[in-house]
Amino acid sequence: MIERIEALRAQAQEEIGAASSSDAVEELRVRYLGRKAELPRMLRGVAALEPQQRGAVGKAANEARRTLEDLIEARAAQLDASELDARLRADTVDVTLPGTPPQPVGRLHVLSATMRELENIFLGLGFTVLEGREVETVHYNFDALNHSPTHPARAHTDTFYVQRPGAYVPHPGAGPSRGAPNDGPSRGQGQGQGQGQGHVGAGARLGEPDDLVLRTHTSPMQIRAMEAHPPPLYVVIPGRVYRPDSDATHTPQFHQVEGLAVDEDITLADLKGTLLAFARTVFGEQRDVRLRPHFFPFTEPSVEVDVSCFHCSGKGFMGDGSRCPLCKGEGWLEVLGAGEVDPNVYSYVPTTEHNAPGYDPEKVQGYAWGMGVERIAMLKHGIPDLRLYYENDLRFLEQFG
Amino acid sequence: MRVPLNWLREYCSPELDTAGIEERLTMTGTKVETILQYDAGDGDVVDVLDLEITPNRPDCLGVYGVARELHAATGASLAPAPWSDDPGSEGPLAQSNSQGSSCGDAHPTAEVVVECPDLCHRFTTRVFEDVTIGPSPPWLKERLSAAGQRPIDNVVDITNYVMLLTGQPLHAFDLDRVAGGRLTVRRAHEGEQVTTLDGQVRALDGEMVVIEDGEGPTSIAGIMGGERSEVHPDTTRVLMEVANWNGPNIHRTSWALGLRSEASGRFEKGLAPEQCMHAQALATRLMVELCGAKVTPGTIDVAWDGTRSQTIRLREQRVRAILGMPVPRARQAEILQALDFDTDEAADGLDVTVPAVRRDDVTREADLIEEVARIHGLEALPVTLPARRGAYGRLSPTQHLHRRALDALVGRGLYEAVGWTFTAPTLHDRLRLAQDDPRRRAPVLENPLSEDQSLLRTTLLGSLLDVAAHNSARGMSDLRLFEVGTLFVLDGNRDASDDGAGAADHARGPGETGVCEHRALAVLLSGRIAPATWGAPDPVRADLFAVKGILEALGAALRVELECRPDTQPFLHPGRSAAVVCEGEELGWLGELHPLVAREWDLDGAAVMELELDRLLAIAASESTYGDVISYPALRQDLAVVLPEHVPAAQVLEAVREAARELLDEVGVFDVYSGPQVGEGKRSLALSLAFRAPDRTLTDEDAAPVRERIVAALGGLGGELRG
């Protein structure tokens, strides 16, 4: 009987080793270890044997069964793995086909993204962010910003005026159209162009304080911020502004980020430090800034601020000796106007319960700047034409944000 | 302004090359825009500085003014003013006894009357006899040419040369062609016509100033002379006019006529009346030297009574406080003196007297500090940051939410567009707005660039449709766009319901302006809402549910419930449009574009949405607090109910919530079926229910009574359980 067990074991072992599929292994398991198979039957019959045989036969049969179980399991696992592998191999795809995109990602407009970047820089420097209205009064847009009553910027040629709601009549479909845009006073010299006859009124009115304008800069919020909050005040004001210019270098709407800091002792040197932090964050750590004296009605001293050119590292020329195309050989890029807040501006801020103790020009001083978002984005991203911003061509939008 | 370098060097010649001079001028406030090269012939090339003169510095619209700047900026010596030596004289103009007077009587050579001293602040004339008109000498021609002026004849060239050197324009009349020898300065008559030197006839208005003689107007004051009295080749008697005009008035006239000249560009910035005599003195010397003229003694000088100069205290400590760097008092005095200010020592600084040509620009201590700063050099400023005591930077909660809203849309695959604030009056018709639609109450520009840009927008839809049309016309018709922008509505007669939460963080109520502004958010989806791929070649196309999906994503990002209620808009498909409601407030609309509107923009169709963003963010601005939904799990059950198809899903869900009262945590629609199995006019909604108690795990037995109430409520809507 022990010989028979040994023979079964040997035969099964051989057949298990030869089994070539998991189905075949399963068949062997049934044949050798199933309920009706010989080996289990022997085990069940051990009790019927002579007592002196029971031990040896039982032990041999058990060992054989355990051996076969292990062999079958091992062989099955081996075959499962190779069969799985074969199935997977059969399921081969063309990995060179394009991937399936997830829900596609969109983009912020480059102007939004740039404004957010600028906000973040100044948040880090301790400023808060304010927004302001776009239809403003002449008082906030000009008077309170120390523009003389006859300042040319107030002219209809330089500022959009909005009809007062009181004077509103349902639009007849024929707005007051203007003659061909003339050169602004800041541009173009030379003799008269002969344009504009029949528009004798153009440029005539320089604005009553409560006339309405589309704000020409974000600066009116300087006054509104000081009216609403006492010093110390550290704010930036991003927003859309308007001027009636439309040509290669002007669009009638554009965006600015205004900055205003007023405290007991804010100096022009502080302005330089603040704008250096801005310049290095936006244009790179190697950048430098320089302040050039300039003129604005609402700052004194006034400066224009240049950033050293990041294209030529401020050298003005490229590696091959050619003139830098970005800064035109200057080595510097003009990025914004700024200055110490003109003391007259404080005198336009009434002291109320909201901003007490108010803004006494002998007790507070500060700086302000206004930077053009379109210009900064143009410089930073090499955008060649202002009009691209407002066309919103997808092929443009995809490149930024 | 163009300044030939060799001319500048006649008055101030620092030991610097052109680049060095450029750098010093630029860094002290006289920006050199470019350096031009004028070929003077014989290989002689002259560098010409093209300067940007800021509007507060009309004194630098003359070469000598720039020379003074260069003197202050470099310390190089400044030559005496070219008008120091005056061959003419002041005092009353001598009586004429020349050959021009036929009968030998003594009579006034010329007379001037100024009728509008508010617009003419000084009017001076001198008279020259025996003038020989001819070409100017080469040196003068070269000066003018290099400065960009065409040489004409010696008298005209003298006037141009003197203007370029002193900054003061002047005008030469042929005295024999001045009818009556008398000039009157007066406001023009409304509609009065003048023929200017360029041969054009110009119509004037009552705020413009003319100079007339016995036969009528000869010049538009401060802007351009007239043909009739100009200098001719046979001129022998010249009346040299040097006047001072009201700057803003000249600016206004020049703009109104579209007529700008070298003279008007100077006058409009406001010159000092003292400059008149600088120009007269210099012109007199040149008339004598170059035209052989005999100067008639005396000067007609009217409409000016002199002005006192101003003295300002400059506190030494204040300079340091404003700039953040010290400038020693002696250095301050040196700078100011170089700029022609007088200084006297005072206890805490300097008493500074302002020169006439700087009278309008320098009126306060702050202005003196600027002078000191720019000449001392801003390069020397240290780099510091504000002390920022007590102030700290942060975004407001609403600003954070604003960013989160935009980021959610970007994360959902939308591209942000930035459109125009300006809109065309025709937009409202193209959008089929009713005549009484409040969106027709758009603010109107008084001076638009064109009719198509004459209104401020009351909806973002117009600009998004324009953007869609732009892209679609270029083959990009699968569009996922959004825009955030300000909308403007006239306050006048707003709807009673439209009282707007004026207290909200960013609401910009009408305030002083009567124009309400608020920020809106709009979305436009068109074509396929995801890119086609080889695995899914035909993705879902934009429809109401696609844009509603964006709405729901936005609501999820802001943690607000945004619901849709059936409603229509004139520009939307009437069966596929809805009002968007949040906490009972109507915040906007969404839906599919009306086919007629889509056709207006050549689009195949689009799903669109617009929300009042400021109000939405005001509702959303709240903090989250923890709710325990983890300790005890929810019990989930499904329920299918067949209802008349006209019953909206929202009504079904509302009925379920109302009936449940307790334990029901969530309910949603997860399937919709209509077809033969549910019968005509009916549809089946499959609802998922989640029950939850805060203190125990619920069993089916716990939920059974709630479920029974729900079933009963659905029965009330005509529904019966299915399956």
Q: How far is A357 from chain B (nearest CA, A)?
A: 16
Instruction: Supply φ then ψ for residue A111, to 5 degrees.
Output: -70, -40
Tell me, which fold does domain B2-74 have in CATH?
A: Phenylalanyl-tRNA Synthetase; Chain B, domain 1 (3.30.56)
Those residues whose C-beta lies under 8 Å from the C-beta of residue B628, and which sit 6 or more positions away, are B694
Mutate to test the interface with B, among A115, A134, A146 (most CBs of B within 10 A): A134
Give residue B704's pLDDT.
93
Of B200, B324, B533, nearest to A98 by CB-CB distance is: B533
Mutate to test the interface with B, among A105, A107, A108 (most CBs of B within 10 A): A108
pLDDT at B101 > cutoff 60? no
Alpha carbon distance A290, B380 (integer Å):
10
The pair of structure tokens assigned to B419 is 């459109």
Mutate to test the interface with A, among B219, B375, B385, B519 (most CBs of A within 10 A): B385
Of B366, B416, B492, nearest to A343 by CB-CB distance is: B366
* CB pairs A-B closer than 8 Å: 375
Give the DSSP letter of residue B55: T
Give residue B499's pLDDT.
40
Give residue B503's pLDDT.
35
> Which residue bears the tokens 């050798």?
A32
Domains B311-376 and B397-620 agree in fold:
no
**Which of chain B's residues have a Cβ under 8 Å away from the Cβ of A157?**
255
Chain center to CA of A213: 31
Q: Which residues share a beta bridge with A259?
A: A236, A369
Give the DSSP letter of residue B518: E
* Closest residue, chain A, to B514 (C-alpha): A165
Alpha carbon distance A130, A225 (integer Å):
8
A94 inside 8 A of chain B by CB: no
pLDDT band at A6 (very low <50, low <70, confident <90, very high): confident
Instruction: Supply φ then ψ for residue B24, to 5 degrees.
Output: -65, -40
pLDDT at B308 > cutoff 90? no
* Closest residue, chain B, to A261 (C-alpha): B386
Helix (H, G, I), strand (E, B) or coil at B369: helix
Is the bond preceding A357 in cis, omega lying within 30 degrees of 0?
Answer: yes
Mean pLDDT, residues A308-333 taken together: 91
pLDDT at A62 > cutoff 80? yes
- Please answer yes or no on whether A197 and B202 come within 8 Å at the CB atom: yes
> Which residue bears the tokens 């009216």?
A227
> Which residue bears the tokens 């300042």?
A151
Instruction: Report whether B268 contacts B250 (CB < 8 A).
Output: yes
Task: Give me the residues of A, 198-237, that contact B with CB < 8 A.
Answer: 199-204, 206, 210, 212, 214, 232-234
Q: How far is A356 from chain B (nearest CA, A)?
A: 16
pLDDT band at B723 (very low <50, low <70, confident <90, very high): low
pLDDT band at B492 (very low <50, low <70, confident <90, very high): low
Amino acid identity for residue B706 in this structure: V
* Closest residue, chain A, to B414 (C-alpha): A106
Give residue A44's pLDDT.
84
Which tens digits make up the pLDDT trace of B352-408? 999 999 999 999 999 999 999 999 999 999 999 998 877 889 999 999 999 999 999
Q: Does domain B397-620 have CATH number 3.40.50.1100?
A: no
Those residues whose C-beta lies under 8 Å from the C-beta of residue A345, and which sit 6 or more positions away, are A144, A145, A146, A222, A223, A298
CA dihedral A234, A238, A239, A241 (to 10 degrees): 80
* Closest residue, chain B, to A115 (C-alpha): B403
Helix (H, G, I), strand (E, B) or coil at B309: coil
Those residues whose C-beta lies under 8 Å from the C-beta of residue A181, and which sit 6 or more positions away, are A157, A244, A245, A246, A247, B449
A280 inside 8 A of chain B by CB: no
- Please answer yes or no on whether A175 and B455 come within 8 Å at the CB atom: yes
Can you tell me the ipTM of this complex? 0.89
Where do the domains of chain B lie?
Answer: 2-74, 111-302, 311-376, 397-620, 635-721
Query: For B486, what's the count of Cα atoms within 13 Å in the CB-facing half-sphere?
Result: 23
A158 inside 8 A of chain B by CB: no
Q: Among candidates B175, B172, B362, which has minimal Cα distance to B279?
A: B172
Q: Among candidates B223, B56, B260, B220, which has minimal Cα distance to A182?
A: B260
pLDDT band at B96 (very low <50, low <70, confident <90, very high): low
pLDDT band at B531 (very low <50, low <70, confident <90, very high): confident
Q: What angle do CA A72, A77, A83 make, to 5 degrees?
A: 120
* Average confidence score pLDDT of chain B: 91
Instruction: Report whether B312 contacts B306 (CB < 8 A).
Output: no
Which CATH code for domain B311-376? Answer: 3.30.56.10
> Which residue bears the tokens 């300067």?
B51
Q: How far is B632 from chain A (nearest CA, A)?
A: 34
Give residue B97's pLDDT.
54
Alpha carbon distance A213, A158 (integer Å):
11
Which tens digits make up the pLDDT trace of A247-267? 888 999 999 999 999 999 999
Inter-CA distances, B211 with A194, B188, B517, Å: 20, 9, 49
Instruction: Report whether A325 contacts A307 (CB < 8 A).
Output: no
Alpha carbon distance B674, B682 (integer Å):
7
Inter-CA distances, B518 with A299, B458, B591, B611, Å: 30, 10, 22, 11
> Which residue bears the tokens 């443009």?
A396
Inter-CA distances, B538 with B18, B80, B535, B546, Å: 68, 85, 9, 15
The class (CATH top level) of A110-164+199-397 is alpha beta
Of B254, B265, B416, nearest to A107 by CB-CB distance is: B416
Q: Residue B623 burial (CB < 10 Å; 0-12/13-18/19+)?
A: exposed
* Cα-Cα end-to-end distance for chain A: 85
Give residue B228's pLDDT.
84
- Please answer yes or no on whether B486 and A267 come within 8 Å at the CB atom: no
**Which of chain B's residues have a Cβ under 8 Å away from the Cβ of A176?**
446-448, 454
Q: Residue B333 burial (CB < 10 Å; 0-12/13-18/19+)?
A: buried
Alpha carbon distance B106, B88 (integer Å):
21
Q: For A73-77, which contacts have Cβ atoms below 8 Å and span 24 or more sequence positions? A: A75/A16, A75/A17, A75/A19, A75/A25, A76/A22, A76/A25, A76/A26
- Please answer yes or no on whether B198 and A191 come within 8 Å at the CB atom: yes
Task: Give the sign of the dihedral formed by CA B135, CA B138, CA B140, CA B141.
Answer: positive
The pair of structure tokens assigned to A373 is 């978002």
The pair of structure tokens assigned to A367 is 């700086």
Q: How far is A271 from chain B (nearest CA, A)?
A: 7
Inter-CA distances, A101 with A240, B50, B381, Å: 36, 56, 54
A38 inside 8 A of chain B by CB: no
- Please answer yes or no on whether B373 and A178 come within 8 Å at the CB atom: no
Give the DSSP letter of residue A244: S
Q: Among the listed ranges A24-38, A94-108, A196-210, B608-622, which one has the minimum average pLDDT value?
A: A196-210
Which tens digits make up the pLDDT trace of B178-235? 999 999 999 999 999 888 888 888 999 999 999 999 998 989 999 988 888 899 999 9
- Please answer yes or no on whether A136 and B425 come within 8 Å at the CB atom: no
Give residue A104's pLDDT.
81
Alpha carbon distance A166, B375 (integer Å):
51
- Please answer yes or no on whether B260 and A106 come within 8 Å at the CB atom: no
Alpha carbon distance B566, A278 (integer Å):
50
Mutate to test the interface with A, among B195, B370, B450 (most CBs of A within 10 A): B370
Which tens digits make up the pLDDT trace of A135-189? 999 999 999 999 988 788 898 889 999 998 765 444 433 333 333 333 333 323 2
Of B203, B324, B506, nearest to A270 by CB-CB distance is: B324
Chain center to CA of B57: 22
Instruction: Report whether B298 contacts B140 (CB < 8 A).
Output: no
Q: How far is B223 from chain A (nearest CA, A)?
A: 9
Helix (H, G, I), strand (E, B) or coil at B525: strand
* Closest residue, chain B, to A299 (C-alpha): B366
pLDDT at B477 > cutoff 70? yes
Q: How far is B200 from chain A (nearest CA, A)?
A: 8
> Which residue bears the tokens 């403003």?
A136
Of A157, A175, A261, nearest to B255 by CB-CB distance is: A157
Which tens digits make up the pLDDT trace of A331-343? 999 999 999 999 9
pLDDT at B274 > cutoff 70? yes
Q: Does domain B111-302 have CATH number 3.30.470.10?
A: no
The class (CATH top level) of B635-721 is alpha beta
Alpha carbon distance A169, A66 (integer Å):
102
- Please answer yes or no on whether B471 and A107 come within 8 Å at the CB atom: no
Alpha carbon distance B386, A273 (integer Å):
8
* Closest residue, chain A, to B435 (C-alpha): A170
Task: Give me the residues of A, 54-73, that contact B with CB < 8 A.
Answer: none
